[in-house]
């Protein structure tokens, strides 16, 4: 039966109605200069994307992925279901084996995104009598996963392991001791670009028997031992992989594709397959996406020039910001993420717009994404940025500010 004209008109009216509470929140964002909007990619000089090595635009990766699919007679657009039902294609197994070998981990499990990986891990692994201690600047996906957990949670001050140890001591001397303590941090923080002292953190976790979890989303492809293959992440660069209970690797940044993996023991992976809801109850990545991850990792093993260019650009950026008197504005960072703190949504948006008008795609990060007073310009560096572009954008920033 088709709906009559009166019913159609009524449904259209209903579709246009929005609860007043939602309208009020949007209006508040507009007043605070913090209303988010979608924009299309620009042709500006890229200082905003997470494509650190340029892999997302790599014709070689694109063509090799296509050849791999054809050579293996994989002509399929979708996974067709959850990996526990019909979606566990052979390319997944090959990809996970390569990832675990590359990262010197006993096992690996691919998730649809870094967000899914963190929500799946923290929503299932910590148990009711456990405690999760997380860095106060941890990513939203970690926090959202913790919200889904039955465990208690407490934050510690950013990269402050004295504060962390005080919290651990309070817990371990309490009559109601937690069964297990999980300590959570990131190897490179997405908004500040800084890194914790992982050797000190590993020693602290070993001292108190805590289980360490590290999100390496912004370290993959950026940090690593150039004498080996490079780009493995900060944990492996420091030789600490045996001391970390779980690592989360995200592929939408340094690898330029999509998806993520959790690295750990076979027992941990078996547990996640059985209990991580964001893994169990979702359609798997397409065979094409899994193959792109596989080829991107192979490319990372062989692509020394891009890694070296990125490292040199990070050094050059740090030298130039000092030369132009900008050092006091920037969070100290040796990563591809460089953030200049410029308080005030309106002010930082205005400066970002001026940089964009001159051809540089630099984004303003506004509150509430970062705390009020910590608004910033976030510069993302890439292997394909030239030294001249870096010098020019920093000189321009200096002329705007001073």
Percentage of the chain with pLDDT > 90?
87
Residues 296/251, Cβ–Cβ less than 8 Å = yes
List pLDDT tens digits, range 183-232: 999 999 999 999 999 999 999 999 999 999 999 999 999 998 777 768 99
Strands 181-186 and 152-156: unpaired
Q: Longest Cα pair distance anywhere in the chain, in angstroms? A: 73
**CA dist., res. 353 & res. 357, Å (int):** 6
User: Of 274, 244, 253, 208, which Cα lies nearest the Cα of 52?
Assistant: 253
**CA dist., res. 25 & res. 31, Å (int):** 10
> 193 in helix, strand or coil?
coil
List pLDDT tens digits, range 13-33: 666 889 999 999 999 999 888
> Pick the residue with more confidence: 32 or 175?
32
List pLDDT tens digits, range 283-337: 999 999 999 999 999 999 988 899 999 999 999 999 999 999 999 999 999 999 9
Residue 2 in this model has a pLDDT that exceeds 60? no
**CA dist., res. 105 & res. 244, Å (int):** 10
Confidence category of residue 169, pLDDT binned at 50, 70, 90: very high
> Pick the residue with more confidence: 37 or 243?
243
Residue 281 in this model has a pLDDT that exceeds 60? yes
> 360 in helix, strand or coil?
strand
**CA dist., res. 257 & res. 218, Å (int):** 14
List pLDDT tens digits, range 84-98: 999 999 999 999 999
* Structural tokens at position 92: 């997944």
How is 314-359 classified by DSSP, letter by letter? HHHHHHHHHHTT-GGGBPP-SSSEEEEE---HHHHHHHHHHHHHTT
Confidence category of residue 8, pLDDT binned at 50, 70, 90: low
What radius of gyration do the chain's Cα atoms show?
23
List pLDDT tens digits, range 347-359: 999 999 999 999 9
The count of other CB atoms within 10 Å of the CB of residue 72 is 14
Instruction: Give the pLDDT of residue 372.
Output: 93
> 82 in helix, strand or coil?
coil
Q: Over the chain, what is the mean pLDDT?
A: 94
Instruction: Give the pLDDT of residue 12.
Output: 58
Residues 6 or more apart whose CB falls under 8 angstroms from that of 135 comprise 155, 156, 158, 159, 184, 185, 186, 189, 196
Instruction: Give the pLDDT of residue 5.
Output: 65
């Amino acid at each position: 039966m088709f709906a009559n004209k009166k019913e159609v008109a009524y449904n259209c009216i209903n579709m246009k109605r929005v609860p007043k509470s939602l309208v009020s929140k949007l209006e508040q964002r507009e007043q605070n200069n913090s209303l988010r909007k979608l924009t299309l990619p620009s042709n500006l000089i890229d200082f905003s994307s997470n494509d650190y090595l340029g892999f997302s635009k790599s014709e070689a990766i694109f063509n090799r992925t296509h050849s791999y699919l054809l050579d293996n007679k994989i002509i399929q657009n979708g996974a067709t279901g959850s990996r526990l039902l019909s979606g566990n294609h052979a390319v997944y197994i090959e990809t996970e084996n390569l990832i675990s070998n590359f990262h010197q981990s006993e096992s690996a499990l691919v998730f649809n995104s870094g967000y899914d990986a963190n929500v799946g891990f923290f929503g299932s692994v910590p148990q009711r009598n456990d405690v999760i201690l997380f860095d106060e600047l941890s990513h939203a996906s970690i926090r959202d996963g913790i919200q889904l957990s039955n465990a208690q949670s407490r934050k510690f001050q950013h990269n402050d392991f004295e504060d962390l140890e005080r919290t651990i001591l309070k817990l371990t001397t309490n009559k109601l001791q937690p069964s297990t303590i999980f300590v959570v941090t990131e190897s490179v923080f997405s908004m500040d670009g800084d890194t914790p002292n992982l050797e000190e953190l590993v020693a602290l976790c070993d001292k108190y028997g805590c289980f360490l979890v590290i999100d390496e989303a912004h370290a993959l492809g950026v940090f690593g031992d150039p004498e080996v293959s490079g780009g493995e992440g900060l944990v492996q660069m420091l030789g600490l992989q045996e001391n970390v209970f779980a690592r989360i690797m995200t592929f939408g940044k340094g690898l330029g594709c999509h998806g993520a993996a959790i690295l750990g023991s076979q027992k941990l992976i078996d547990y996640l397959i059985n209990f991580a809801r964001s893994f169990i109850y979702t359609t798997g990545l397409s065979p094409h996406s899994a193959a792109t991850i596989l080829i991107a990792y192979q490319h990372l093993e062989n692509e020394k020039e891009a890694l070296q260019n990125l490292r040199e650009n990070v050094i050059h950026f740090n030298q130039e910001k000092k030369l132009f008197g900008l050092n006091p504005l920037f969070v100290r960072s040796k990563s591809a993420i460089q953030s200049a703190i410029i308080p005030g949504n309106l002010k930082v948006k205005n400066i970002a717009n001026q940089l964009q008008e001159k051809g540089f795609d630099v984004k303003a990060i506004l509150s509430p994404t970062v705390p009020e007073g910590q608004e910033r310009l976030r510069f993302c560096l890439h292997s394909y940025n030239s030294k001249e572009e870096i010098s020019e954008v920093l000189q321009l920033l200096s002329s705007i500010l001073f």
